[in-house]
Copies of this chain bind each other. A is one copy, B any other.
Amino acid sequence: MTRPPAAPLPVPAPGEPVVGELSEAELLARVLPLLERPALAHVLTGPGDDCAVVAAPDGRFVLTVDTQVQDQDFRLAWPCGTPTTGFDTGVKCAAQNLADVAAMGAVPTAVVVSLTLPPATPVSWPEDFARGFVAGCEAMGAHRCAVVGGDLGAGRELSVTAAVTGDLEGRDPVLRSGAAAGGVLALAGTTGRAAAGVALLEDARYRPGADPRLDGLARAQLRPCPPVAAGPAAARAGALAMIDLSDGLLRDAGRLAAASGVVVDLDAAAVGGLARPLDPAAALLGADPRDWVLTGGEDHGLLAVLPAGAPLPRPFRAIGSCAPAPPGPAGPRPRVLLDGRAPELALGHRTGEGWDHFEP
């Protein structure tokens, strides 16, 4: 078939081939070795056959999928001058998928990755993606997670999809729907840092390298590092409900509250504490850091509800509580409160709550 025009892409180094100059087999031969990890007993058949075969010792597995598309989920070049590298995209691909597995209380076991690459993509991009994916798994504590297969294809724009499986280790999955009034709302990881980071990256006033606090926020957007081991830890501690903060605290806490039939009351002091590390970015950009905490999702922190009085497993910290939903139809009443009142946002936001992929 004809090859369509490609989207703007990274420029190859002098002499570096682009993926369209290699056969699929040649490209695989360069990328697959970078995905190898020490032999894992639960990978019964690894890459190279029609399917992988993975052990599921407790007779079940969890399964999720997530896609990142160029210029939707990452920019190859940001207005501040920083690029998104293949390595960054690999880390983020791991983060968004592993956090979903962790939010069930499961341990990530296996990944299949599909890469869509315009023919003009430098070969170093998928190589760096592979390095970033593996490094991300290690940094997030997903030491048992192996890439067991994948797909390579061409397209107009860079797109990466991963499907990840996890092992519940004999425990019940922690669903969104198990929260009960009186439960303690607890957060592992961060929220708002990646949103502050994207605001910086999008703004030419941000000068990378000039302030390590700002660079740390930009890095939270480019290379999020959710605490994957905290998911199983919460399950072992008796978590009643859990969700991955992928679309923002208000929106995701609202999903948990709706699924569980409770109201979530966020502690304003805790939200203020989460906002404090964002102050330097807010000062530079004239923004309200609390908005980032309430609506920023891409840190992929884990939000859990634990029984009142249960010790919180590390690194969870309490940020609110669950209250009974008022009787009658939910209607327009908010599912998520801030110190007992409907939260107000300084920034305008169409949905008022978080990220929507099809928002115009």
Chain A residues within 8 Å of B, Cβ to Cβ: 1-4, 7, 19-25, 27, 44-45, 48-57, 59-67, 69-73, 75, 99-101, 103-104, 106, 110, 112-114, 116, 119, 148-157, 159, 161, 163, 165-166, 168, 173, 175-177, 242-244, 259, 351, 356-360
Given A62-B53, A356-B23, answer yes or no on A156-B157 (Cβ-Cβ < 8 Å). Answer: yes
Chain B residues with CB under 8 Å of A161's CB are: 65, 67, 114, 151, 161
Residue of chain B at shortest CB distance from A161: B161
Do the beta carbons of B154 and A110 come within 8 Å of each other? no
Main DSSP-derived SS at the A contact region: mixed
Do the beta carbons of A356 and B24 come within 8 Å of each other? yes
10 pairs of A and B residues whose beta carbons are closest in the complex? A163-B163, A56-B56, A65-B112, A51-B62, A50-B103, A69-B155, A51-B64, A161-B161, A50-B100, A67-B114
Chain B residues with CB under 8 Å of A44's CB are: 60, 173
Residue of A62, A168, A358 with most chain B CB atoms under a 10 A cut-off: A358
Given A63-B149, A114-B67, answer yes or no on A154-B72 (Cβ-Cβ < 8 Å). Answer: yes
Choose among B54, B65, B66, B69 the residue that contacts A154 (Cβ–Cβ < 8 A). Answer: B69
Do the beta carbons of B63 and A56 come within 8 Å of each other? no
Do the beta carbons of A66 and B151 come within 8 Å of each other? yes
Chain B residues with CB under 8 Å of A176's CB are: 48-50
Given A53-B168, A159-B116, answer yes or no on A24-B71 (Cβ-Cβ < 8 Å). Answer: no
Do the beta carbons of A50 and B155 come within 8 Å of each other? no
Chain B residues with CB under 8 Å of A165's CB are: 61, 63, 165
Residue of A60, A65, A356 with most chain B CB atoms under a 10 A cut-off: A65
Q: How far is the CB of A95 from chain B (nearest CB, A)?
A: 13
- List 20 interface pairs A-B (beta carbons < 8 Å), by A numbering: A1-B71, A2-B71, A23-B358, A48-B176, A49-B175, A49-B177, A49-B259, A50-B103, A50-B176, A50-B242, A51-B103, A53-B61, A54-B62, A55-B60, A65-B113, A65-B163, A72-B155, A112-B163, A154-B358, A157-B157
Q: How far is the CB of A232 from chain B (nearest CB, A)?
A: 13
Do the beta carbons of A153 and B51 come within 8 Å of each other? no
A23 to B359, CA, bound (A): 6
Do the beta carbons of A101 and B51 come within 8 Å of each other? yes
Choose among B61, B114, B168 the residue that contacts A61 (Cβ–Cβ < 8 A). Answer: B61
A73 to B1, CA, bound (A): 8
Q: How far is the CB of A130 from chain B (nearest CB, A)?
A: 15
A163 to B163, CA, bound (A): 6
Given A23-B359, A51-B101, answer yes or no on A153-B67 (Cβ-Cβ < 8 Å). Answer: yes
